[in-house]
Structure 1
Amino acid sequence: MMLMKAAVEMVTKPSEAANAELRRAERVGHGSVGGCSNNSVKASVEAVRSAVDIDAVRARASTGLPDDARPGTWKLLLGLVDSDDVLACEGLTERRAQYHRWRREFQSSHAGIDNPEQGEADKKDSYARDASLIKEIDKDVCRTRCDLAFFAPGSMQQQWMLRILFVYAKLNPDLGYMQGMNEILAPIVYTFGAVSDDDSAREAEADSFLAFSVVMNSAKVLYSMLPSDPTKTGVEAQMNRLNTLLRQHDASLWLHLNSIGLSPDFYSFRWYMTLLAREFSIETTQRIWDSLLSDPRRFSFLHYISCALIISQKVKLLSEGFTGALKALQVLEEIDIEDVLAHAQQMRERDRQADQNQHLLDRTKMTMANPHVVLYFDVNKTVIMHDPVQGKDLPNIVNDLLTERAFGVVSADGETWTWNKCPVLASDGVVGSGEVSYGTFLRAKYPMSSNSDESKKNKKVRKVMRQDFTSKGFPGEGLASEHAVLLERLQLPSHDGEAYQEALAATGLDESPYHFIIPAFFHFIQYLHDGGVSFNLVFRTYGDDLHRIAQEFNHFCEGKHPFFKTGSSLMDGSDGGVDRRLCLSTADGSSHRFGTFYRSDDITALIMGTFKQPPAVNVSHEEFYATHSNLHTIHGLESIHSFLTKQWRNDQVTLAIRDFYPYWFSKREDARAGKLMTLDTSDKDVHVIFFDDNILAYEPHIVDAREAKDGTPLAWEVTRDVQLMRVEPLEAIGNKSYFIERYLLSCENHNKST
């Protein structure tokens, strides 16, 4: 049981604590699902069941696995154990039993003929074919990793390999057995056969067969003819792909190898046919396979590893002719496999980003008729995952986010909520009948009220329950591991050096180990700026955290951000281009770029030059601001709309506006009193978009969309996914192209409606 538990512990804790947790699990004798011992499994079901996020498993495995976690993690990656419920082993148990039935069936059909001369003709032929097959397999198995005592002649592991390859060949007569399969099987048997857990050790042969079958299901294309070209084998196509990849990532090396006539078929045929299982020590092979198996596309990463292996020998290759270069690639001396894998990953990420950028560019060209864009961006839980006004740090905010994505059942009396045990990060979005999110449950149990004091009390209770959601004793404690995963995704890279610390301090990132403004936001602004999109950015918030936003955002615009460098041009105007920095002070003679809304039933005003607000709706804004100097007040929707969408258009400046929470609160947080967004539906030259996490799936909730000319409320059905863009914070945390994709959807829908 210990092995799968080790795998689960490793991928459900922050990575820096993984090895310590594995050692702790081993000391206390925790079980692993690899063995599926039911007694210890049942005791830990509730603690572990929800914890496995397959993306987290892949990410952790790609960096290399500890030996004790490898068997269990490989089972997860290969699908031998269901990642949705790693402790339910019925499927694995049945597949193991099936292997044993096949093994007995095929062995008895072969060994059962004592005197083939007396059998029927077809039995004679079958016996002869089986005998020939066994002899062929045995010859290769005896030569496989024979330098290791683990695979010593006559060893149990050699017998496993013989039986596994025989059974596989019998079950796959179209493919049969081919040389190279023995090499692929070896690291699997070595991994599963070296376990200490009794149950896993007993089933190591069956587990090895099951894993080998999954691997071969992906790799068998190498052994077959191409359907599109029956004259070529699959491995030829893969080697051609490697040739293209090398030319793309190192043209000078590719030209040299091409000039001496050394094409990939001379040296990479064995790499592909054995999945690099013959080139290195068994331990290095296991490390390579950690990365290979972590790839959802199974072995597409093999191309990049092979390319990185070639490039690692570049200095030697450029000085050699055909013979010397071929020997260098066959021997592969002085290889640092971690450097090779890191380079392979960098090349793949570069290609993925290029493909994604091209896809986004194509979508932009198709969807944009080049209107000017006004981007309203909520701050808390949209741009930043902190809420200093509410006293919430990142761990609190992440709990807050999980309450809206965790679903469960409410008791008949409406008093309690019970989680449905479904993970959030790996959710398919399907909600069970009668299930509601924890956030919905809290809003129903502690609702807004016409009584102001009661509303404030209920809001305070909701706040506490939400921000402690995954803490021990709270309804979401089973999601603590996913809480840890999200924190890790927002953790700042760690570097040493005084210059780095100074850069952090200047940007305002020296007081927390986590990102303040999320990466996806910077990626989006860079995308728009580099793409030549005409836009104004307007930060919108009920809070007073805009100075902290300005500090980091302005460093980004100036190209000084320690983690997000601007592209080909800066955004501070120093190169003669657009200055997108957020200015929260006003020089003499210049216009204010920051301000606040004031709203009541009778008045809508935008006061530029201050963030200060009247404390309540019934306090006259004229009296409140009477003693303030150098303010600019705009009254009425049409004037406000013109000010926000036209006055700043040519300069494309960034603005910051504080919305008036007392009015929204007085209306029990009804959308028609929320953050004002004015539209002129007849103006096709301006596209207004509002990004906010509090826009709900079924109503605008926090944004009050109105026609600028007459104040008519605009229907949710008209503005949804056009102007009003709901933000899913968990998606924005995990996908740096999130805002780009949402923006393009908005543009596509806007074009359809015009």
Structure 2
Amino acid sequence: MSTSYRNRIQEFKVALGEEKINLKALRELCFGGIPFEGGIRAQCWKVLLNYLPLDTSLWESFLKKQRELYSQFLKEMIIQPGIAKANLGLAREDVTLEDHPLNPNPESRWNNYFKDNEVLLQIDKDVRRLYPDMAFFQRPTEYPCKLILDPQNEYETLRRRVEQTTLKSQTVDRNRSGVTNMSSPGKALNLYPSNEYEVLPNGCEAHWEVVERILFIYAKLNPGIAYVQGMNEIVGPIYYTFATNPNGEWKEHAEADCFFCFTNLMSENRDNFIKSLDDSQCGITYKMESVFSMLKEKDMELYLKLQEQNIKPQYFTFRWLTLLLSQEFLLPDVIRIWDSLFSDQDRFHFLILVCCAMLTLIRDQLLAGDFTVNMRLLQDYPISDVHTILIKAKELQDGS
């Protein structure tokens, strides 16, 4: 470790050690990248995502309260609905029309239970293939959730609910975010065997199961948006950062802390996931057009070339903006981009700058390419050095 890097770590320790964190100074420090050592990145993200208060003396009591609240969510939204289901029918006289599975009332507990299962199956399908090139999400967690894995709750886990429902494999599944998921029945059997859970030692759960729980509880608490495919790509890097924290005391609570940070980030980003808002000023269409507006201002020649080839921003910027570039780069690089993104006071404007920088950095190839070549470049972005992209975005921000 170089002396300059050691000094940088020390700067972060000083900034996070203040009784009242100077948010402006911390943001400036984080913009250039946050060290992983000592759990600094996880700690900074919790501050930047408005989870941890700036008054560090409040951290202990605040975290205790939030983690207890999350445990309550687990009990109310995962364990108790299952208990109600398991208990129904034990004694015939206890079953009322209100509690009956055939109750036509859309607000009945059973009807809600079945609706939740539809959401759960979509989440389950997505989180199982989260970062398939990495083993991390398939591995068992160091701190399995005791509340969920309690043998008395055997019938109440999301695991059991998924096992009881048949997952249909499909050839190609396309969605709004431009993500294409391809599998064949044969391939699906190899990748996701029906006894997948049995691969883990007894009493363990995989990291992707934790992500599934976070998304399911978010969907339950936010029925207006519920779950939209692509949210798994936003939870993934946050959870990974918290669950690999070298500080074991914080790592143990990665699930609860990730849930609240994801919720805060989604409160800023959720309009991108609401289809009815697509064409409003807060919707995704406006943001996609903003990338081209900025390109027009910064590089008219490139803008006109894309216009001439009828390459529309929705062909590629939808995924870039909605998923915060999480599908364009390898996970370590996504995390580095997010260091800068989270530290910017107007993070979503900075994201537009990053997208514009990505375009200008491949301008020569785009100017030389035809429609097919250029679409391939934009949908499979060729530059992997995110440091170069962030420097260019900063230049655009500063007007140079």
TM-score bracket, shorter-length normalisation: 0.7 to 0.9
Contact 1:71-1:191 within 8 A present in 2 as well: yes
Which residue number in structure 1 is paired with residue 390 of structure 2? 341
The amino acid across from 1:157 in the alignment is H
Deviation at 1:115, TM superposition (A): 7.6
Give the AA of the match of 2:283.
G
Q: RMSD in angstroms over aligned alpha carbons?
A: 2.6
Compared CA separation, residues 278 and 227, structure 1 to 2 (3 A): closer
Aligned partner of 1:133 in structure 2 is 119
Residue 159 of structure 1, aligned match among 209, 233, 239: 209
Deviation, structure 1 residue 262? 0.5
1:326 Cα deviation (Å)?
Answer: 0.7
Q: Is the 8 A contact 1:81 1:89 kept in 2?
A: no
- 2:32 aligned with 1:63: yes
Matched, 1:298 2:347: yes
1:277-328 superposed Cα distances (whole Å, 9 cap, x missing partner):
1111110000000011001123221100011111111111111111110100
**Counterpart-to-counterpart distance in 2, 1:197 and 1:16:** 18
Local SS of the residue matching 1:114: helix
Counterparts of 2:283 and 2:234 in 1: how far apart (Å)? 17
Q: Deviations over 1:587-638 (max 9, x none)?
A: xxxxxxxxxxxxxxxxxxxxxxxxxxxxxxxxxxxxxxxxxxxxxxxxxxxx
Equivalent-residue separation in structure 2 for 1:248 and 1:226 (angstroms): 29
Q: Which amino acid aligns with 2:301?
A: S
Q: Whole-Å Cα distance in 1 between the matches of residues 112 and 278 of structure 2?
A: 33
Kindly provide the amino acid, as one letter, of the partner of residue 210 in structure 2.
W
SS at match of 1:64: coil
Ranked by relative contact order (alpha carbons within 8 Å, sequence separation 6 or more), the top structure is: 2
Q: Partner amino acid for 1:266?
A: Y
1:79 aligned onto 2:46: no
Residue identity in the other structure for 2:124: D
SS in 2 for 1:301: helix
CA-to-partner distance for each residue in 1:396-449, whole Å, 9 max, x for gaps? xxxxxxxxxxxxxxxxxxxxxxxxxxxxxxxxxxxxxxxxxxxxxxxxxxxxxx
- Kindly provide the CA deviation profile for residues 444-470 of structure 1, in whole angstroms up to 9, marking residues without a partner as x: xxxxxxxxxxxxxxxxxxxxxxxxxxx
Report what 1:184 is aligned to: 234
Partner residue of 2:314 out of 252, 265, 275: 265
Q: Would you say how many aligned residue pairs link Structure 1 and Structure 2?
A: 316
> Residue 114 of structure 1 aligns with which residue?
86
Work out which of the residue numbers 93, 104, 109 in structure 2 matches 1:123: 109
Q: Secondary structure at the match of 1:98?
A: helix
Asked if the contact 1:64–1:287 (Cα under 8 Å) also holds between the matched residues in 2, the reply is yes
1:102 equivalent in alignment to 2:76? no
- Aligned partners of 1:190, 1:291: CA distance in 2, in Å? 17
Larger radius of gyration: 1
| Matched-pair contact (CA < 8 Å) for 2:272–2:278 | no
Q: CA deviation at 1:92?
A: 2.5
Q: Indicate if the aligned counterparts of 1:292 and 1:302 stay in contact, CA closer than 8 A.
A: yes
- 1:19 CA displacement: 3.0
Given that 1:226 and 1:233 are in contact with CA atoms closer than 8 Å, whether structure 2 keeps it comes out as no
Map 1:205-604 onto structure 2 (within 5 A): 205-224=255-274, 234-350=283-399
Aligned position for 2:7:
17
Query: Higher strand fraction: Structure 1 or Structure 2?
Result: 1
Structure 1 residues 73 and 233, CA, compared in 2 at 3 Å: closer, same or farther?
Answer: closer
CA offsets, 1:222-281, max 9 Å, x none? 122576966x88111110111101111111101101100101110111111211111111
Q: In 2, distance between residues paired with 1:20 and 1:262? A: 47
Q: Over residues 654-709 of structure 1, what are the superposed CA-to-partner deviations in whole Å (9 max), with x where a residue is unaligned?
A: xxxxxxxxxxxxxxxxxxxxxxxxxxxxxxxxxxxxxxxxxxxxxxxxxxxxxxxx
Structure 1: distance between partners of 2:137 and 2:5: 33
1:171-228: CA deviations, max 9, x gaps?
Answer: 0000000001000000001100001322212100001101100110110011225769
User: Does the 8 Å CA contact 1:308/1:344 hold for their aligned counterparts?
Assistant: yes
Q: Which runs of 5+ in 1 are unaligned?
A: 1-13, 34-47, 352-754
Contact 1:59 1:294 in 2 (8 A): yes
CA distance 1:93–1:269, change in 2 (3 Å): same
Deviation at 1:21, TM superposition (A): 6.7
Distance 1:49 1:73, change over 3 A: same
What is the CA deviation profile of residues 371-414 of structure 1, one whole-angstrom value per residue up to 9, with x for unaligned ones?
xxxxxxxxxxxxxxxxxxxxxxxxxxxxxxxxxxxxxxxxxxxx
Q: 1:124 to 1:263 in 2, by over 3 A?
A: same
Q: Relative to structure 1, is the Cα distance of residues 227 and 328 closer, same or farther in structure 2, using a 3 angstrom cutoff?
A: closer
Deviation of 1:85 after TM superposition, in Å, equals 2.9
For the 8 Å contact 1:151–1:157, the answer to whether it is kept is yes
| Residues 233 and 58 (structure 1), Cα distance of their counterparts in 2 relative to 1, 3 Å cut | closer
Q: Mark the CA change 1:124 to 1:246 in structure 2 (over 3 Å): closer, same or farther.
A: same
Q: Distance in 1 between matches of 2:57 and 2:336?
A: 23
Letter in 2 for 1:138: D
The residue identity in structure 2 corresponding to 1:338 is H
* 1:8-62: CA deviation from partner (whole Å, max 9, x where unpaired): xxxxxx988223677xx8xxxx9x98xxxxxxxxxxxxxx343631111101111
Match of 2:200 in 1: none
**8 Å CA contact 2:279, 2:286 repeated in 1:** no
Following the alignment from structure 1 to structure 2, what is the Cα–Cα distance between the partners of residues 202 and 269?
35
C-alpha separation in 1, matches of 2:330 and 2:384: 11
Q: Summarize deviations over 1:83-108 as a string: whole Å, max 9, x none.
A: 23366432222112111111211002
Give distance in 1, aligned partners of 2:88 and 2:378. Answer: 49
Equivalent position of 1:50 in the other structure: 19
Displacement after TM superposition at 1:136 (Å): 0.8
| Letter of the structure 1 residue corresponding to residue 227 of structure 2 | Y
Write the letter of the residue equivalent to 2:33: G
* Residue aligning to 1:91: 62
Q: Label 1:227 to 1:187 Cα distance change in 2 as closer, same or farther (>3 A).
A: closer
> Retained in 2: the 8 A contact 1:49–1:87?
no
Quick one: structure 1 residues 259 and 86, their matched pair in 2 at CA, closer, same or farther if it must change by over 3 Å?
Answer: farther
